């Protein structure tokens, strides 16, 4: 039978593990041929990995019976938001130098940017309402609002898929993982 609590070391270890990609990216950015592209790709990838990991908590909890895992979901979701914000800020500052006309041209010319920006905007209220106080204040509406994470994940995968021009193997893997995670939820609901 799984424990009813988390081991004391698990949250700090997970916190450090969530920061590790940032450290890794910082170490290897100067070896990249195109550092801005490297930073953009790495932060976007880790935002997507964070989203999918967050979505994996519920099936993992249901499969193992370890209900305490739910206490990790908020931290994972906030790290996904953190990496998504870094991804956007790198695009905004380093790729476009805060040039609004160039950014608007990019949005119009490349729909994958519009989809990615929409995903980020939808993540914002989830991050803002992730506190215990907001959960109490919103009551049942909190759960309804946080179902937006499913749409955010779909948009994030679509953003990545449309970005890739030739080999869609990596976005297809993320899409398959997302389909599995969402399919699990549909199957559980259908069974109930």
pLDDT at residue 23, rounded to an integer: 94
Answer yes or no: is 3 within a domain: no
Answer yes or no: is 78 within a domain: yes
Profile the chain (192 residues) by mean pLDDT over runs of 10 residues.
81 96 93 94 97 96 92 96 97 91 85 94 96 93 94 97 91 97 93 81
CB 142 within 8 A of CB 135: yes
Answer yes or no: is 4 within a domain: no
Number of domains in the chain: 1
Q: How many CA atoms lie within 13 A of 128 on its CB side?
A: 8
Sign of CA dihedral 80, 85, 86, 87: positive
Bin 97: left if φ > 0, else alpha if -120 < ψ < 50, else beta: left
Answer yes or no: is 5 within a domain: no
Answer yes or no: is 1 within a domain: no
Place of tokens 């519920």: 58
pLDDT at residue 107, rounded to an integer: 80
In terms of DSSP H, where are the helices of the chain? Answer: 10-28, 35-64, 73-89, 100-109, 111-128, 132-138, 140-146, 148-163, 169-191
Sign of CA dihedral 50, 184, 146, 163: positive
Tokens for 73? Answer: 């979901």
Answer yes or no: is 133 within a domain: yes
Domain of residue 77 covers 10-191
Answer yes or no: is 33 within a domain: yes
Q: How far apart are the C-alpha atoms of 143 and 132, rounded to whole Å?
A: 13
pLDDT at residue 1, rounded to an integer: 56
Answer yes or no: is 130 within a domain: yes
Q: How far apart are the C-alpha atoms of 24 and 29, rounded to whole Å?
A: 8
């Amino acid at each position: 039978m799984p424990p009813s609590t988390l081991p004391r070391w698990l949250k700090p270890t997970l916190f450090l593990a969530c920061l590790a990609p940032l450290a890794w990216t910082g170490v290897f950015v100067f070896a990249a041929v195109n550092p801005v592209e490297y930073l953009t790709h790495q932060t976007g990838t880790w935002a997507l990995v964070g989203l999918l990991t967050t979505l994996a908590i519920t099936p993992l909890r249901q499969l193992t019976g370890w209900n305490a895992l739910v206490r990790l979901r908020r931290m994972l979701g906030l790290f996904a938001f953190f990496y998504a914000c870094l991804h956007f800020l790198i695009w905004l500052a380093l790729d476009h130098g805060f040039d609004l006309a160039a950014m608007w041209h990019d949005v119009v010319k490349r729909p994958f940017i519009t989809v990615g920006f929409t995903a980020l905007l939808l993540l914002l209220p989830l991050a803002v309402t992730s506190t215990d106080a907001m959960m109490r204040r919103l009551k049942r509406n909190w759960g309804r609002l946080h179902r937006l994470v499913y749409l955010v994940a779909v948009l994030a995968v679509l953003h990545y898929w449309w970005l890739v021009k030739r080999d869609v193997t990596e976005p297809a893997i993320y899409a398959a993982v997302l389909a599995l995670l969402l399919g699990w939820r549909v199957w559980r609901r259908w069974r109930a």
